[in-house]
């Protein structure tokens, strides 16, 4: 019962830092190794097996604005804590890939062993490496639809020649880490116009998608497994369907550019609630979940970059 921990996204110029935490709990999954040594197809396959068979998994996310505010070292500690907080399965030891105990200032410190190349040697650490890599890569691929022209799918935020050229032509986005030396010049601004000039124009749909991205990440941080996003039929639509333990949540995401413009729950009229109930029942019927605990919820997000304000279950 080892809790394995590994991180991805320490060095990119853009995108989140993600820490994976996995307790395999006796599950034996062939082929686990350092995620960087695997093809994308193999990583995706192993990611599915880990999620299905592991006793516990967690993902800790720290986004660029937060990383810029607190620094990389603190961000690594924070992401690790967030990942570990999602683990409810029992374990007797924590193994962190590398040489630094990111839980040193927590009650978990005494359980920790640090080990170089642990992602090659310890199956639970390999699994943590894989789920973190897949989650981050999928997130960065999604950013291509929100910030076209940067090629985030191919370089996932690293400082490639293609990425550098895109920044020179298009400016930076909220995904970029302006505390990193190659981008430091973009951090010095003198007016709102300068900030706007450094960021690409976003359509209303792109802004709404960014709100849904923030909502999905928030749910994952709370231990949810995202089952579907923007699930649609000709009759109805659900923004996010997620599973937390034995409960299935159907979440409506409400995004506002500015705070204090009315909460998300206020947007759930009786008619909207009826539509959500119908959509949830239709989803449960299609995927044979009729006996599951089904709940409706709403997330209110605001700001640029989008951040979750509230998450409320709808009674």
Q: What is the pLDDT of residue 303?
A: 73
Does one domain contain both 91 and 164?
no
Give the sheet arrangement for strand 293-302, strand by strand.
225-232, 237-244, 247-256, 293-302, 307-314
Better-scored residue on pLDDT, 200 or 243? 243
- Is the same domain home to 30 and 128? yes
Average pLDDT over residues 51-57: 95
The residues facing 245 across adjacent strands are: none
* pLDDT value of position 311: 87
Give the model confidence (pLDDT) of 134-157 as tens digits.
Answer: 999 999 998 988 899 999 999 999
Q: Residue 191 sits in which domain range?
A: 143-198
Same domain, 118 and 180: no
Mean pLDDT score of the chain, rounded to an integer?
87
pLDDT, tens only, 190-205: 334 344 445 554 444 4
> With 60 as the cut, is the pLDDT of residue 228 above it?
yes
Same domain, 162 and 247: no
pLDDT digits over 265-294, tens only?
555 677 788 888 888 888 888 888 877 899
Confidence band (pLDDT; 50, 70, 90) for 310? Answer: confident
* Residue 152 and residue 114 share a domain: no
**211 and 108, same structural domain?**
no
Same domain, 98 and 151: no
Share of residues in the chain with pLDDT > 70 (%): 88
pLDDT tens-digit readout, 66-109: 999 999 999 999 999 999 999 999 999 999 999 999 999 899 99
Mean pLDDT of 26-53: 95
Q: Which of 119, 136, 153 delimits the end of a domain?
A: 136
Task: Considering only residues 183 and 197, tell me which one the structure prediction assigns the higher pLDDT.
Answer: 183
Of the two residues 285 and 20, the one the predictor is more confident about is 20
- In this structure, the answer to whether residues 191 and 258 fall within a common structural domain is no
Write the CATH number for 235. Answer: 3.40.1350.10
**Domain boundary, last residue among 110, 136, 162:** 136
Residue 304 clears pLDDT 70, i.e. is over it = no
CATH number at residue 124: 3.30.420.10
Residue 179 sits at the vertex; the CA angle it makes with 174 and 182, to the nearest 5 degrees, is 95
pLDDT band, very low/low/confident/very high, at 123 (cuts 50, 70, 90): very high
- Give the per-residue pLDDT at 267: 59
CA-to-CA separations, 198 to 100, 191, 206, 227, 297, in angstroms, rounded: 36, 11, 17, 35, 36
Residue 201: per-residue pLDDT: 47
Q: Tell me the percentage of the chain whose pLDDT exceeds 90.
A: 59
Average pLDDT over residues 213-218: 87
Whether 229 has a pLDDT exceeding 70, the answer reads yes
Query: How many domains does one find in the chain?
Result: 3
What is the pLDDT confidence band of residue 168, given thresholds at 50, 70 and 90? very high
Q: What local confidence, expressed as pLDDT, does residue 288 receive?
A: 84
Q: Are residues 34 and 118 in the same domain?
A: yes
pLDDT for the residue numbered 223: 87
Last residue of a domain, one of 152, 175, 198: 198
User: What is the DSSP pairing of strand 237-244 with strand 112-115?
Assistant: unpaired
Q: Is 130 in the same domain as 157?
A: no
27 is written with which tokens?
Answer: 């599950």
Same domain, 91 and 178: no
Q: What is the pLDDT of residue 286?
A: 85
Residues 33 and 117 in one domain: yes
**165-198 b/e (C-beta count within 10 Å ≥ 16 → b):** ebbeebebbbbbbbbbeebeebeeeeeeeeeeeb
């Amino acid at each position: 019962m080892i809790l394995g921990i590994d991180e991805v996204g320490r060095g990119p110029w853009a995108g989140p830092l993600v820490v994976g935490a996995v307790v395999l709990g006796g599950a034996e999954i062939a082929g686990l190794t350092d995620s960087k040594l695997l093809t994308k197809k193999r990583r995706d396959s192993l990611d599915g097996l880990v999620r299905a068979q592991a006793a516990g998994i967690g993902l800790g996310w720290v986004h660029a604005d937060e990383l810029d505010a607190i620094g990389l070292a603190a961000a690594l500690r924070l992401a690790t804590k967030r990942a570990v907080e999602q683990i409810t399965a029992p374990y007797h030891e924590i193994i962190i890939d590398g040489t630094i105990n990111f839980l040193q200032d927590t009650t978990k410190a005494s359980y920790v062993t640090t080990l170089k190349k642990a992602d090659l040697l310890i199956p639970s650490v390999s699994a943590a490496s894989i789920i973190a890599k897949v989650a981050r890569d999928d997130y960065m691929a999604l950013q291509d639809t929100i910030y076209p022209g940067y090629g985030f799918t191919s370089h996932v935020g690293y400082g490639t020649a293609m990425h550098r050229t895109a920044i020179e032509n298009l400016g930076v986005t909220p995904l970029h880490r302006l505390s990193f030396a190659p981008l430091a010049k973009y951090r010095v601004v003198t007016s709102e116009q300068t900030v706007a000039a450094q960021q690409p124009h976003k359509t209303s749909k792109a802004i709404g998608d960014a709100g849904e991205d923030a909502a999905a990440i928030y749910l994952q941080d709370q231990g949810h497994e995202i089952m579907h996003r923007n699930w649609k039929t000709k009759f109805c639509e659900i923004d996010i369907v997620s599973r937390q333990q034995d409960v299935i949540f159907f979440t409506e995401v409400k995004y506002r550019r500015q705070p204090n413009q009315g909460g998300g729950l206020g947007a759930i009229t009786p008619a909207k609630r009826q539509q959500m109930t119908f959509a949830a029942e239709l989803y449960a019927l299609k995927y044979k979940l009729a006996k599951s605990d089904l709940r409706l919820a709403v997330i209110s997000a605001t700001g640029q970059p989008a951040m979750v304000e509230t998450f409320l279950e709808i009674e």
